[in-house]
Structure 1
Amino acid sequence: MRDLILASTSSARRALMDGLGLPYRTQSPGVDEQVSPLHSAKEAVRELAERKARAVHARNPEAWVLGADQLVEVNGQTLTKPEDRGAARAQLGKLLGHTHDIHTGVCLIGPGGQHFEGLETARLTFHAVTPDELERYLDLNEWEGCCGSYRVEGAGQALLARLEGDRSNVQGLPMVTVVRLLRQAGFSFFERR
């Protein structure tokens, strides 16, 4: 049985990985998530996914390590995790009634430096909501730790007017891409234990 590590402590990513039925464990990458401001959102998520995978792989060189990173992009501006409720309100103000993209970079690194990577983009359109409804959503604290200040796996799905792309990508880990990378690395599925 191959050792597979998800370089993340995200509960949303763990829930998606659990659905595959593959044995895996998690480990926090503990990396600096700052990237050059000259990077596009797509370049940044690719770099950060690889940085996370490499950090965990350095501690577990015989394992396969899956790293991922996600950013929201609206009108050419990249949104990261909000620092506080005010920042979350400002981010959602840019998204409500508009269309934005979510980019997720994924990197799988294995023994001997084997390396597979992918990038997935989903496009979302949000409903315009009243200021009172926005404040009620912010009261739920789903914005905490989330790029773009919402969770579509929670109450934030009520903001969603349209989704083009892989819903699991929006939740933090594009499973179609993940499965493709794992298959490229030689993992097999549906095995009896």
Structure 2
Amino acid sequence: MTGTSSPERLVLASRSAARRAMLTGAGVPFTAVDAGVDEDAIKASLAGIDPADLALELARAKALAVSRHDPEVWVLGSDQTLDLEGTMVSKAPDLDAARARLKTMRGKTHHLNSAAALARDGAVVWSGVHTARMTMRSFSDGFLDEYLAAEGEALLGSVGCYRLEGMGSQLFDRVDGDYFTVLGMPLWPVLDELRRAGVIAT
């Protein structure tokens, strides 16, 4: 991309505030739309699939759904799945469920898979998935009560019922993996692909 050329346009096919914040913080120009895909139907059709592969399929589906409607832009889809001892965990519907979820996860290690896909002209041109290994400490019930009261329903937007950029950092003993992967998108490889696509400068 030269100084006189018009940059390619990017659409983020996601409602995630964390993903929007990542791109904004990295200085990437974009617009955001809801991909409108039926995630439950996709999960049902892929029952038994490895959680990391499911994250990849969901990211691809989101990117494709938007790209088919607007083929002249680059579309970035992203999704995240959580694997707890071989079982895929979905978002908690309410704070009572979040409390039960966190009690189940404390003192254990889970894997958080963040996938991204880039589409153009109704076809996926790149996709990838990164995994973070997350070890929760054996926190007390008292801390859990304090945590849930402080964070509130904002936790329900995260598959793990935590935001590492907030008080959720106190839930963990150890995190092995990229910070952005934990937040919900493998940002470094995404930026590489956006440079290749001409969305941001090389």
TM-score norm. by structure 1 comes to 0.92
Are residue 8 (structure 1) and residue 20 (structure 2) matched?
A: no
Alignment partner of 1:26 out of 32, 35, 39: 32
Aligned to 2:156: 144
Mean Cα deviation higher: 13-22 or 179-188:
179-188
TM-score norm. by structure 2 comes to 0.88
Following superposition, the deviation at residue 117 of structure 1 comes to 0.4
Aligned to 2:187: 175
Alignment partner of 2:108 out of 92, 98, 104: 98
Aligned to 2:78: 68
Structure 2 CA distance for partners of 1:84 and 1:114, relative to 1, 3 Å: closer
Contact 2:68 2:121 in 1 (8 A): no
Aligned to 1:166: 178
Contact 1:120 1:177 in 2 (8 A): no
Corresponding letter in the other structure for 1:24: F
Alignment partner of 2:142 out of 110, 121, 132: 132
Corresponding letter in the other structure for 2:161: S
Aligned to 2:125: 115
Contact 2:107 2:136 in 1 (8 A): yes
Corresponding letter in the other structure for 2:19: R
Query: For the aligned residues, what is the CA RMSD?
Result: 1.6
Following superposition, the deviation at residue 114 of structure 1 comes to 5.3
Contact 1:124 1:163 in 2 (8 A): yes
Structure 1 unmatched ranges of 5 or more:
none
Q: Secondary structure in 2 aligned to 1:182?
A: helix
Structure 2 CA distance for partners of 1:171 and 1:114, relative to 1, 3 Å: closer
Following superposition, the deviation at residue 158 of structure 1 comes to 1.2
Contact 1:74 1:94 in 2 (8 A): no
Following superposition, the deviation at residue 186 of structure 1 comes to 4.2
Structure 2 CA distance for partners of 1:82 and 1:114, relative to 1, 3 Å: closer
Aligned partners of 2:124 and 2:140: how far apart in 1? Answer: 50
Q: Secondary structure in 1 aligned to 2:185?
A: coil
Following superposition, the deviation at residue 109 of structure 1 comes to 0.5
Contact 2:114 2:129 in 1 (8 A): yes
**Residue correspondences, number:** 190
Q: Secondary structure in 2 aligned to 1:148?
A: coil
Aligned partners of 2:79 and 2:53: how far apart in 1? Answer: 11
Aligned partners of 1:185 and 1:114: how far apart in 2? Answer: 13
Q: Secondary structure in 2 aligned to 1:170?
A: helix
Q: Secondary structure in 2 aligned to 1:87?
A: helix
Mean Cα deviation higher: 136-145 or 168-177:
136-145
Contact 2:112 2:132 in 1 (8 A): yes
